[in-house]
Chains A and B, each alone.
Chain A
Amino acid sequence: MSEDFVDLRKVGIERDPSKRSASFMMVDESPEVGFSRGVEILSTREAIERYEWLENYSWRLVEGEGDYDGYFIRVPRNVKVEFPVEACLLLKMAKSQRVHNIVIAEENSELNLITGCTSERLSGLHLGMSEFYIKRNAKVTFTMIHNWKRGNEVLPKTGIRVEENGVFISNYILLSPVKVVKACPVAYLERNSRAFFGSVVVGFEDSEIDIGNVVYLNGEGSSAEIVSRSISRGGKVFSRGHIIGNAENVKGHLECKGMIIGNGVINAIPELEARNPNVDLSHEAAIGKIAEDEIFYLMTRGLSRDEATSLIIRGFMDIEVKELPEVLKREIDRAIELVEKALV
């Protein structure tokens, strides 16, 4: 088992056709499709060359230009992709990696996408620009697991459009030391569509993490939920959320919870904006350290202080996403297990 193989599993990358519908790998700025079935997957450059119509999708949801490479994934109409599609972005030799991804789920299709981002370099810049188009009645579950090194700087931009009755579920996991991560995906929700954004981040010493989500509830009856769990273990974490209610009968909820272990800084910044009288927007935010009486309780059941602490941290990070497929849940559990020990 090579070193590199172990690292990739940490970010949910299996490269195993019995577990994945498709596998994509981008080392520095060179993309390569490993295998695929039931779903179209190409490098972004290739896709843009092949499909003229992609003009209508490229650089429409995030600001930018240029022909960076990355992955292009398209699920045909009415197709429900059975196993997750995986995409790995690996920073290996280059000082920086720029990526442009486009994901299109056509009407009434379904996709689970796992993106694992990691680095073999101690420093380096990762700039990922992603555009997600979820068409009518389609559903995309997007799980992103990051595993960086102390000197990495990560500045992604993401835009998501969810059409009528569409569903977008996103889970973001960052459990390693990193220099800077600044990410704030923006989602635009149309009529009766739904989005969920869950994130679990840990800020180690010297890490500066600023993550959040912006959701525009533009269509009548659309709804969104943002749930974040931030742990600071010496690092600086900003956890933002911004829901804008622009239409009738929209619903939004924001939940930011922070836990400080030892010392560190957490800023929870929830923001609600109503531009229509018939909206239902709410938020809750709480930051604290682990409660001593919870540790004591578990110790009365025979757990040592460290075991109790680790169980509580794990519980704190366990955001319940009912619709998350079992396989993805296992990826997240595995990632969390790996970091638990480092936190106690």
Chain B
Amino acid sequence: MKDVLRIVNLCVGVDGRVILKNVNLYIQKGQTFALFGPNGSGKSTLLMTIAGSSKYKIYDGRIMFKGVDITEKATDERVKMGLGIMYQHPPKITGVKLKEILKHCAKLGGTEDKIYEYVKMLNMENLLDRDVNVGFSGGEAKKSELLQLLLMNPEFLMLDEPDSGVDLESIAVIGEVINDLLDGKSGIIITHTGQILKFVDVDYGVVMYKGRIACIGDPREILKTVEKYGYEECARRCLRTL
């Protein structure tokens, strides 16, 4: 079994509304996928479901990680098995300091001796004593997510729009870090602009459209098609060829 992640016929809903429909996705060890798709198409839902959020109800299908069916597993167990997620919109938690969370992340990843180095690298010293995500700027929130992920050092990375709302200089920093982090590992990166792909090698591009996987192909080709014709046309063309 070479697939590190296998998503089989996944159907997911929220509040009785179906969001993901028959999603199938196989990712091999060492592969990274870029996930594209219009707003509201279900990209974040897919990542949150893989992470085990109880908000999203699985109607059908299953999720296999490293050959184990994790569909029913608690989130912390999944994380201990090696899943890591970088949020698009992380929640603000009053009273819980970033540095406190970092300690937990480092314990999990066995990276206690790296905390200081990573904090410095991402220039985050001044955020350590702040309540996590409370009043963080868009870029600060991204960096905080990345820092936590770095310390957890997961085998499989799920990055939800690491490049949105980040200035050009920071994208370069974040991009390099992600590229290093992904070395020899696997993952899914959601991106709208594809900015991050200048720094990170991805193997495939996937388009999600209205809750379905509409096509899989070369990520740069897909981006070009979307830019030229839009998602609807891209999905129409892809669905035809699938």
Identify the A interface with B (CB < 8 A): 291-294, 296-305, 307, 311-312, 314-318
In Å, the complex CA distance between A316 and B92 comes to 12
In Å, the complex CA distance between A293 and B89 comes to 11
Check if B148 sits within 8 Å of A317, measured CB to CB: no
Check if A302 sits within 8 Å of B76, measured CB to CB: yes
Which listed residue, B76, B90, B94, B97, touches A303 by the CB 8 Å rule?
A: B76
Check if A296 sits within 8 Å of B95, measured CB to CB: no
Q: Is B235 an interface residue (CB 8 A)?
A: no
Check if B95 sits within 8 Å of A317, measured CB to CB: yes
Q: Which residues of B contact A293 (CB under 8 A)?
A: 53, 55, 91
Report A335 CB to chain B, min CB distance, Å.
Answer: 16
By secondary structure, the A interface counts as helix
Check if A311 sits within 8 Å of B100, measured CB to CB: yes
In Å, the complex CA distance between A318 and B87 comes to 26
In Å, the complex CA distance between A301 and B133 comes to 14
In Å, the complex CA distance between A307 and B104 comes to 10
Check if A302 sits within 8 Å of B152, measured CB to CB: yes
Instruction: Scan residues 69-98 of chain B and give those whose CB is less than 8 A from a CB of chain A.
Output: 74-76, 79-80, 84-85, 87, 90-91, 93-97
A313 nearest in chain B by CB position: B95
By secondary structure, the B interface counts as mixed
B109 nearest in chain A by CB position: A302
Instruction: Scan residues 83-134 of chain B and give those whose CB is less than 8 A from a CB of chain A.
Output: 84-85, 87, 90-91, 93-97, 100-101, 104-105, 107-108, 131
Given contacts A293-B55, A315-B131, contact A301 B152 (CB under 8 A): yes
Q: Is B137 an interface residue (CB 8 A)?
A: no
Q: Which residues of A contact B93 (CB under 8 A)?
A: 294, 297-298, 312, 315
Check if A299 sits within 8 Å of B96, measured CB to CB: no
Report A43 CB to chain B, min CB distance, Å.
Answer: 40
Residue count of chain B within 8 Å CB distance of chain A:
29
Q: Which residues of B contact A294 (CB under 8 A)?
A: 91, 93
List the count of A-B residue pairs having beta carbons below 8 Å apart.
71
Check if A300 sits within 8 Å of B91, measured CB to CB: no
Q: Which residues of B contact A315 (CB under 8 A)?
A: 93-97, 131
Q: Is B159 an interface residue (CB 8 A)?
A: no
Which listed residue, B74, B95, B97, B148, touches A301 by the CB 8 Å rule?
A: B148
Identify the B interface with A (CB < 8 A): 51-55, 74-76, 79-80, 84-85, 87, 90-91, 93-97, 100-101, 104-105, 107-108, 131, 148, 152
Q: Which residues of B contact A311 (CB under 8 A)?
A: 96, 100
Q: Which residues of A contact B108 (CB under 8 A)?
A: 301-302
Can you offer 27 A-B residue contacts whose CB atoms are under 8 A? A292-B55, A296-B51, A296-B53, A297-B91, A297-B93, A298-B93, A298-B104, A299-B52, A300-B75, A300-B84, A300-B85, A300-B87, A301-B104, A301-B152, A302-B80, A302-B105, A303-B76, A303-B104, A305-B74, A305-B76, A311-B100, A312-B95, A314-B96, A315-B95, A315-B97, A315-B131, A316-B94
Report B182 CB to chain A, min CB distance, Å.
Answer: 18
In Å, the complex CA distance between A299 and B152 comes to 12
Q: Which residues of B contact A314 (CB under 8 A)?
A: 95-96
In Å, the complex CA distance between A299 and B54 comes to 12
Q: Which residues of A contact B87 (CB under 8 A)?
A: 297, 300
Report B103 CB to chain A, min CB distance, Å.
Answer: 10
A293 nearest in chain B by CB position: B91
Report A294 CB to chain B, min CB distance, Å.
Answer: 5
Q: Which residues of B contact A307 (CB under 8 A)?
A: 104
In Å, the complex CA distance between A298 and B96 comes to 10
Report A287 CB to chain B, min CB distance, Å.
Answer: 14
Check if A299 sits within 8 Å of B95, measured CB to CB: no
